[in-house]
Structure 1
Amino acid sequence: MINIHRILTIPTDPGVALHDITPQIRSLVADSGMVCGFLTVTSRHTTTAITINEHEERLLEDIRRFFTRLVPPGEAYLHNDIELRDCPLDEPENAHSHLLAMLVGSSEVIPIVAGDLDLGDWQSVMLVELDGPRERTVGLRLFGE
């Protein structure tokens, strides 16, 4: 039985940014020798998310615009009252990022079939940065044979 845990470190872009992490994940699966099993991909932050979708520039821009309309950064959120919270005064006003992360989700489980990710032709695994730029980490757990 193969049971591997790895952490990916990804420097992210400003604001809302979608980073395709499929190549790094495919490399881990190939190096593991796993033929059959599954992979969990987990965001290790409260203002990032994990999703599977098409990594195409126009769609990525549509996603950024949709997120901004859905949860506008400039709204009055209680979390953004920094002086009322026990946190550093330079803490970012990022309630919108936390809310979006909850909607998108923090993890995905992907089957491994014949030694590769069981994804469709246009599917990519993406880290969704909602409060960048920052250095982020993603947990990967391979389990199978």
Structure 2
Amino acid sequence: MPIIHKILEIETESGINIYNITPQIKDFLAATQIKNGQVLVFSRHTTTALAINEDEVRLLEDIKVFLCKIAPESDRYLHNDLHLRVVPEDEPMNAHSHLMAMMLTTSEIIPVVEGQLALGTWQSILFFDLDGPRKRTVFVQVTGE
């Protein structure tokens, strides 16, 4: 059974941003010739996440507001006491981003049937950058026959 992987690179913008990466994953799947199996999508950062949901502009804004209510940037966090730990010079105060990421997930597995992602009508694979702007990577692995 073949196992094929790819690293997606995403240049993100400032703040909380949500990117629909479904087209890139569909393109990669089509290039593999795998007809039945699964796709693993894995977020490789502690302040990024994944979700399968609807890619609708107003819903995406609702999600951002919801995440900010869970972990407001203005709250006091021990992780942000940068002077109390060894950190790179450009280390951001981003405890809120770590906490938001924990409310989502780091990976999704999507079945592949007859060469297509078995997503529902309104489902998209969404990548969340909670601490941009940065260059991010997402690991994608297709397994099957």
Question: 2:128 maps to which residue?
Answer: 128
TM-score, normalisation: structure 2: 0.97
* CA-to-aligned-CA distance 1:62-117 (integer Å, 9 cap, x gap): 01111111110111100000000110243101001111111101000110011010
Partner-residue secondary structure (3-state), 1:104: coil
Cα-Cα RMSD: 0.8
**Greater Cα offset, 85-94 or 7-16:** 85-94
Aligned residues between the structures = 145
TM-score, normalisation: structure 1: 0.97
For structure 1, the residue ranges without an aligned partner over 5 or more in a row are none
Output the CA distance in 2 between the equivalents of 1:117 and 1:84: 46
**Aligned 8 A contact 1:47 1:130 in 2:** yes
* CA-to-aligned-CA distance 1:14-64 (integer Å, 9 cap, x gap): 111100000000001111111100010000000000111011110011011
Q: Which amino acid aligns with 1:80?
A: N
Correspondence 1:34-49 to 2 at 5 A: 34-49=34-49
Output the CA distance in 2 between the equivalents of 1:56 and 1:134: 24
Give runs of ≥4 in structure 1 deviating > 3 Å.
none
Output the CA distance in 1 between the equivalents of 2:62 and 2:47: 19
**Aligned 8 A contact 1:45 1:136 in 2:** yes
Output the CA distance in 2 between the equivalents of 1:5 and 1:89: 33
Question: 2:119 maps to which residue?
Answer: 119
For structure 2, the residue ranges without an aligned partner over 5 or more in a row are none
Output the CA distance in 1 between the equivalents of 2:15 and 2:32: 34
Question: 1:62 maps to which residue?
Answer: 62
**Aligned 8 A contact 1:51 1:126 in 2:** yes
**Aligned 8 A contact 1:41 1:107 in 2:** yes
Identity of aligned residues (%): 52
